[in-house]
A and B are shown apart, each in its own frame.
Chain A
Amino acid sequence: MDPVLDNLDLYWDGFLRSLSIIGWSLVGSLLLGTLIAAFRVSPVASLRAFGSAWVTVVRNCPLTIVLFFMAFGLPELGINTSFYVFGVGGLIIYTSAFVCEAIRSGINSVSAGQAEAARAIGLPFTQTLTQVVLPQALRATVPPLGSVQIAMFKNSAVVGAFGVGGDLWSAGRNLTSAQGYAYIPVLTGVAIGYLVITLTGGALLAVIERKVAIAR
């Protein structure tokens, strides 16, 4: 009786489910993180304050607690949707704080002359940011952003514990607990699944970094 080979379909479903959690969180956290980063450098003081409060709270709070407040806090506010949406939302919020900081450090790495030149030719704040600074900043932020996202891939394992289920980690838990398979072989299968995801992610990141480096 081989726990992994006998249940390849469960593993495969879990793998796909994890990939979908990761895919949505990747897109969502990049968008939200960029928005928060824009807040943090904006001329409007209240937005800056909001941005830095967001980062301070989210980055210093364990993901488990962020996910708890998504799954059990939002329903108290009358917001009811699937646990999948809550879980992905929690992962997006958590990751956005790290994305924001990576982008902000990227913005700071763009030389002041670039922004000054943009302003000298009359561009307003939004255009200075979106046309001149951010495109360059994004390049400088590729390595840290990549690390943040790969960390998110791994964090996706925690989402399953908050009612989402069906992901790679939960599939493994189900095999060991409900179906009584031994832990070590089941976990080895789970570990291989995550390694495939993170190592592929790392390799893709290296390719992107090389591309970006040439373009500079």
Chain B
Amino acid sequence: MRLTKFTAAFAGVVLAGSLAACGGDDSSSEPEVVTDAEFEAGTTMAELKEAGTMTVGTKFDQPGFGLLGLEDTPEGFDVEVAKIIAGAMGIAPEDIEWKQASSDIREQVIEDGEVDMVVATYTINEERAERITFAGPYYEAGQMLMVNADNDSIEGPEDIADNPDMKVCSVTGSTPSEQIREYLASDDQLVLFDIYDKCKDALGNGQVDIVTTDNVILLGYVDESDGEFKLVGEQFTEEPYGIGIEKGDTEFCEFINQTLQDNEEAYLAAWESTAGEVEGTETPELPEPAPCA
């Protein structure tokens, strides 16, 4: 692995703590680990670099983004993105401690300091931003519907209310489960599980009729179903995925945004080797980061 020189820029002046990695022509999918990065004392980055290890919250049950594999390490796009950020602070992938951060505890584990950051298909929204700070976005997803291939009565979310006998499945505490509510004839239509895999199984055995979540997640299921499932309609929401960190840590937020901008190739490689392997997905462009607040 080639190590690139890392320079501290404008330390203590305008962009305190925001650093830039040179290079970026490294095309291997392994994120680079920058050992000689320097950070202003007292910043989160300096603390983490000093510790040489960090705790990252991710999903353990989200194929394509964060799934605990048979080799007992999490695998997926979120995991690779986290490795890029950790690498910029001199933390090697094997020094990252992975912690399960399911949808319903993400804000909590950040607030409680159980993790240093959360990369877990984590949609940026205002409610959450009251409790934590989001870096990114690093990916733009959108909510869609997945149905059985022989289902002709659902062509978009507007058709759900017209079919009040149909059940819609999503995950407890997720953004999609809240956003779908306005399209339902009644709350009885909504079935909630702890993971999307259960929704997919329930769709396969006829217990539910529609699964709704972000398009990339659904595409993974469509791909592995051999034509049993299909996506219908357009994406009807915008789900920018952000990286959750402690509320108010703008220096860390800016550092994360800068790191992603500086490592676009590693970012694209991360996509190609994980969620991008699924047929039908498009390689994303790295979104413009939102201002850190």
Question: Which of A's residues lie within 8 Å of B, judged by CB?
Answer: 71-72, 75-76, 80, 83, 161-163, 165-166, 170, 173-174, 176-178, 180, 183
Contacts and interface: CB of A to CB of B under 8 A. Distances in A.
Given A176-B104, A177-B103, A180-B127, A163 B202 contact: yes
8 closest A-B pairs by CB? A177-B173, A177-B104, A75-B205, A178-B173, A163-B191, A80-B206, A75-B207, A178-B178
Nearest to B174: A178
Contacts of B191: 83, 163, 165
A177 B207 contact: no
A163 B207 CA distance: 10
A83 B104 contact: no
A27 B161 CA distance: 35
Interface residues of B, number: 26
Main secondary structure of the interface of A (DSSP, over half): helix
Contact of B192 (A71, A72, A165, A183): A165
A80 B173 contact: no
B98 to A, nearest CB: 21
Contacts of B104: 173, 176-178
Contacts of B238: none
Given A72-B202, A178-B178, 4 more contacts: A163-B193, A170-B192, A177-B104, A177-B173
Nearest to B192: A165
A161 B127 contact: no
A80 B207 contact: yes
B159 interface: no
B253 interface: no
Interface string B218-242: 0000000000000000000000000
